[in-house]
Amino acid sequence: MMEEQSKTEGTFNADEASSIVKECVEVILGGVDYDENRVNEWMSAVVEQSLTHLVKMGKAYKYIVSCIVMQKRGGGLHTASSSFWDNNTDGRCSVRWENRTMYCIVNVFAVAINL
């Protein structure tokens, strides 16, 4: 049991991170319509708030958070990423959010700090 517990503590919890990011996005973008003059401000707020809340969890990780905001106009968006890391400890999550005027995609990469 002890071995299983320590294994869980050292593993990135993608569901927990996703919940944190979803809440940040909802607070920042939930009540607004797309406005190209405010997109940079919104993206900065989403990344900073997400990062702040992830760090508050007190886990031994370095976090990388990226955000894409796109107006809903029928255009396509394709993204890809790749990583080379320890699958036993490191991880990632991706949160897709939308309202009637825009899409927001936030990616979180968590790399364990070996102390």
CATH code for position 54:
3.30.1140.40
In which domain, by residue range, is 106 found? 2-112
- Token readout for 53 is 């809340």
| Residue 11, pLDDT score | 85
pTM confidence score? 0.88
**Number of domains the chain is built from:** 1
Q: Are 5 and 96 contacting, i.e. CB atoms less than 8 angstroms apart?
A: no
Q: Are 106 and 25 contacting, i.e. CB atoms less than 8 angstroms apart?
A: yes
Burial of 75 (0-12, 13-18, 19+ CB in 10 A): exposed
| Residue 3, pLDDT score | 38
Low-confidence ranges of the chain (pLDDT < 70): 1-9, 115
